[in-house]
Chains A and B, each alone.
Chain A
């Protein structure tokens, strides 16, 4: 694997995470339990899609095949996506959506903090921009997880169920392969495993405030960030997200 291949892989992973999660969160538009939450979810989705344009734009540049961020978003099939499985799992109820957001935001904020020191100044610039938005996402998702976890009997039960369901998807964010090793060597990105300690400290604190129990299992589903095996859900998501460009190739807004 050349350094540019590894770099492109890393950028696809960043951009596909924000793209797929951004799309998932946007599915709530018009359906959230209250208007304010609807707006908050739509704004979060918007930030994530905006960040996607920067990551995938740079991925296309590094690949050097003349592909734009839109080409990468709308014209790849499931096996070419490099997002972690956590981002593609269905929304479930509001509690599960917010728990997924919290588990991702916590990782995202730590990752962007490290990337701000990247040896590649384009990566550092995107990370600097995105980290401000993500700090805000994390503040909100953490507050909501605490509010609902330490809320009524029913909200507590639902949040614990959400955590139990999502926990096996957390481990994948910290797995590494040769592309990651190449990025570490080039000083472009940190080793994913090196984020785990800070992550565990952060989520333990919030989940304990939320009176929730972290499952006692280290089993982790994997295959998203390598593209080896996505869940069945990704294909369904893509049929929604990509249908317009597939049905009317090259259509412009």
Chain B
């Protein structure tokens, strides 16, 4: 009698990965962030391709570790995580769901115009840039001139 093993579908894997939070912005998943670039079975091996947001982002190795832990907990033994740097990550790969969650969390989502559209707290459009850099490589620091609250803006790259 031969043993039947069924590989989880790649759709299933994507769903599992969508439950892995970004370590620095835990309200969005690694899939929302657009850094998971491929999920593929190569024979018995599951290959997951991940791209870094910024080349020096210290979260990159944690993200790979979190992905590995999550998939192992679902019973995937034969797993390979590959780093893919080209095409380079862009904020265009943020999901719509991710953008909405960022805003709800208080981080203004990226805009092609290069600055936040509105204050994530009060919705005012009267905003000023404090610094081009923020608390992590992917963010800049802005302030609302109406409610006077500072907030993070997710840089558009």
Contact = CB atoms under 8 A, between A and B. Distances in A.
Interface string B55-74: 11110000000000000000
B86 interface: yes
Interface string B81-122: 000011111100000000000000000000000000000000
A142 B90 CA distance: 23
A128 interface: yes
B137 interface: yes
Interface residues of A, number: 27
Decide if the interface of chain B is mainly helix, strand, loop or mixed: loop
Contacts of B157: 132-133, 136
A29 interface: no
Given A50-B54, A54-B55, A125-B85, A36 B135 contact: no
Contact of B132 (A40, A53, A132): A40
B141 A36 contact: yes
A50 B60 CA distance: 11
Contacts of A46: 54, 56-58, 137
Contacts of A136: 132, 155, 157
A139 interface: yes
B86 A129 contact: yes
Interface of B: 52, 54-58, 85-90, 130-135, 137, 141, 155, 157
Given A39-B131, A47-B54, A48-B56, 9 more contacts: A50-B54, A53-B56, A121-B86, A125-B85, A128-B86, A129-B86, A133-B54, A133-B55, A140-B132
13 contacts: A37-B131, A39-B131, A39-B141, A43-B133, A47-B137, A51-B56, A125-B86, A126-B85, A128-B87, A129-B55, A133-B157, A136-B132, A143-B132
Interface of A: 36-37, 39-40, 43-44, 46-51, 53-54, 121, 124-126, 128-130, 132-133, 136, 139-140, 143
